[in-house]
Structure 1
Amino acid sequence: MTDTPLSQAQYDAITDAAAHWCMRLHATDCTAEERQAFKQWLDADPLHAFEYEAMLEIWDVAGDLPRPEAVMPVARLQPTTPWRTFGIAAAVCALALPLAAFSGWSLGWVPNSYQHFEASNTVRQVTLSDGTQVELNLGTELTYSNYKDQRRVSLEKGEAFFKVSHDANHPFIVRAAEGRIRVTGTQFNVWMYEDQVRVNLIEGSVLVSSNNDLPGDGLRLEPSMQARYKHGDFTPQISQTYANDSSLAWRHGKLVLDNLALSEALPLINRYLNTPVMVADSSTGSIRLGGIYNIKELNSLVATLPKVLPVYLTRNKDGNPVLNSMPQQPPKS
């Protein structure tokens, strides 16, 4: 999908295609080739799946409408051909879609704008349809949906820096792992690796919750504060950041490790690796690592760790590199 919002004509074309596939897949003469073509269309863009799901809901609604036999005399019924069936379904979809879309938007169920962004091998800057500016770190993927009562981002993986366009009546919500970050206009960074999330606030204020299912909006952060949470946390852990905090160094292509234990450093490193590095035990995890690294060259860091740390590399049954602490030499007698 393109980064810029679709025109009405482009959006209508996707809606028409979704209606076509909805009718064909419900037809008894739908072929295997058509089903394969549908799958290719569905996988081509996240918005295709979104529109198709919406069309299925409309189809279900149409299925609950009164049957012709219930409202027309039997003598007036004419034989119904497959094309007539498709025509009726198309008419129902054409009539129901604007009403369903309007009702869904009015009730806050359906967005009127959807965008999907990815950054693979380079840091990327994008602008959301509400004017919010976002920087995406390497290997980051997110989606943006604009609803009547809120603006919603789903951070699927990676890390992003947000400069949110202010709108007090239209809160901006980022969903990351099991938690959420709620703002109206501010600057903040969200880092995610597996089920671990870290939020750094630069300007303004945010509310951070570690679980979407919990009531309330979460804990409030002020500038120079950080929130961390992971799977199972009832509330985020809040801490103060230092003036020389290096968590945003990725915006300049760097990863700064300030004498961190390997257990803390490896999640920051693994975010950039195709195959994550493990530690053999807690003793290895307590070994400390520091330095400034180019985020595009972190794959080469793994092989050099035994040269700078008292560790050696093995591989586990899944093929992951594993760091093991070197056995200590017994004291000489």
Structure 2
Amino acid sequence: MSMDRENANGRIPTGSQDEAEQWFARLLDRNCPAEERAAFERWRNADPAHAAAYRELEQLWKRSEAAVKDPAVMAAAWRALRTEPDTRAPRRWLLPAMAAGLAILIAVIALPRWLAAPAAVASTAYATTAGQQRTVQLEDGSSILLDTDTQITVSYSSSTRRVDLLHGQAQFSVHGNHAWPFVVHAGSGTVTAVGTQFQVRLNDGSTDVALLQGKLAIATRAPDGAMQSASLIGGQGLAFDEDGRITPVYPLDLQQAQGWTQGKLFVHDWRLSRLVLEMNRYSHTKLSIGDPSLQNIHVSGIFRTNDQQTFLQLLQQGWAIRAKRVSETQVVLLR
């Protein structure tokens, strides 16, 4: 009897399963050429064990579809199947790599712990108040810099390093470990890293992602369950909204992106209303614009986030603005 035929007990030989995974990985590629698809049909028709192995894989994939609703899992799958190959190596080396990534993904999806309610994982909360910044050193060698008025929770399991950004913004310096993804959950999506430095910020209705070094995979989920994904390389950024819509990738102003980590705002032609909102994040004393005609004044300069008094002096010296204190915690800007 052929080694590739189904065993008497109905079990499919390992060799046929491995070949089925390789073919499945090839056929996921929309650009898979017609000759490869024809070769697949010849392989599947050559032995009942081949057909059974492929049919089992297809059924597993369909059953898992309902389970794959976590953007972190989608990001991991997207990253595994789209890792850039070494162009110097022959193409035949790509197929086992794709098959291995697919096999890992399917194994993760198929495990009962993913289909059932996940076991509780202890989490640790960290937070900063207005005007405070804090660096958190994690047990794996990674670190997180929390900006003003920021809140996160950190929970590590055997499969994932997870951070939930609940409010504010943070910079993540991730210690690389391909077998242990670092996943930041924020807004309607996830940001998945291996060894990178990046920032995530929650705004009203949107989430900003800025990648300083390395690579990132971003996955979002709309209220109706529709998924979107994107990737970044160093020096790029993007944003996504509450409905999971991802903006086009744009180049970062690295000086501006990293300014807050140095306690500074590098401002290039900002509207005064935007600058006031940003400065208010760093102080218990809030500024407001009392004259509507000031809203569209454009401001450029470098301002220290922890020095509101100097900021007000600079505004009054450089523009037709008067600062009037109306209470211990409120200053109104007038013309």
Instruction: Indicate the TM-score class for this superposition, using the shorter chain for normalisation.
Output: 0.5 to 0.7
What residue number does 2:118 align with?
109
In the TM superposition, residue 239 of structure 1 has moved relative to its aligned partner by: 1.1
Query: Aligned partners of 1:177 and 1:118: how far apart in 2?
Result: 17
Q: Are positions 1:118 and 2:131 aligned together?
A: no
Query: Aligned partners of 1:196 and 1:299: how far apart in 2?
Result: 31
What residue number does 1:145 align with?
155
Query: CA 1:188/1:254 → structure 2, altered by over 3 Å: closer, same or farther?
Result: same
Query: Aligned partners of 2:323 and 2:257: how far apart in 1?
Result: 28
- Matched position secondary structure for 1:185: coil
In the TM superposition, residue 248 of structure 1 has moved relative to its aligned partner by: 0.9
Query: Aligned partners of 1:277 and 1:177: how far apart in 2?
Result: 27
What CA deviation, in whole Å up to 9, does each residue of 1:149-187 have, x standing for no partner? 432211122221111122323322212233332222211
Contact 2:236 2:252 (C-alpha < 8 Å) held by counterparts: yes
In the TM superposition, residue 323 of structure 1 has moved relative to its aligned partner by: 5.0
- Matched position secondary structure for 2:266: strand
What residue number does 1:224 align with?
235
In the TM superposition, residue 225 of structure 1 has moved relative to its aligned partner by: 0.6
What residue number does 2:167 align with?
157
TM-score scaled by length of structure 2: 0.54
- Matched position secondary structure for 2:168: strand
Q: Are positions 1:168 and 2:178 aligned together?
A: yes
Query: Aligned partners of 2:247 and 2:332: how far apart in 1?
Result: 29
Q: Percent identity?
A: 23
Query: CA 1:279/1:179 → structure 2, altered by over 3 Å: closer, same or farther?
Result: farther
Instruction: Could you tell me which runs of 5 or more consecutive residues in structure 2 were left unpaired when the two chains were aligned.
Output: 1-111
In the TM superposition, residue 143 of structure 1 has moved relative to its aligned partner by: 0.7
What CA deviation, in whole Å up to 9, does each residue of 1:116-169 have, x standing for no partner? 112335432212233321112232221111234432211122221111122323
What residue number does 1:69 align with?
none
Query: CA 1:277/1:237 → structure 2, altered by over 3 Å: closer, same or farther?
Result: farther
Query: Aligned partners of 1:315 and 1:230: how far apart in 2?
Result: 36
CA RMSD of aligned residues (A): 3.5
Query: CA 1:312/1:218 → structure 2, altered by over 3 Å: closer, same or farther?
Result: farther
Contact 1:277 1:322 (C-alpha < 8 Å) held by counterparts: yes
Contact 1:158 1:191 (C-alpha < 8 Å) held by counterparts: yes
In the TM superposition, residue 189 of structure 1 has moved relative to its aligned partner by: 1.3
What residue number does 1:64 align with?
none
Query: CA 1:195/1:207 → structure 2, altered by over 3 Å: closer, same or farther?
Result: same
TM-score scaled by length of structure 1: 0.54
Query: Aligned partners of 1:301 and 1:280: how far apart in 2?
Result: 17
Instruction: Could you tell me which runs of 5 or more consecutive residues in structure 1 were left unpaired when the two chains were aligned.
Output: 1-102, 327-333
What residue number does 2:45 align with?
none
Aligned partner (choices 181, 191, 197) of residue 201 of structure 2: 191
Query: CA 1:264/1:154 → structure 2, altered by over 3 Å: closer, same or farther?
Result: same
Q: Are positions 1:294 and 2:287 aligned together?
A: no
What CA deviation, in whole Å up to 9, does each residue of 1:261-297 have, x standing for no partner? 2344344323223365455798644321122222222
Aligned length: 220
- Matched position secondary structure for 1:191: strand
User: AA paired with 1:119?
Assistant: T
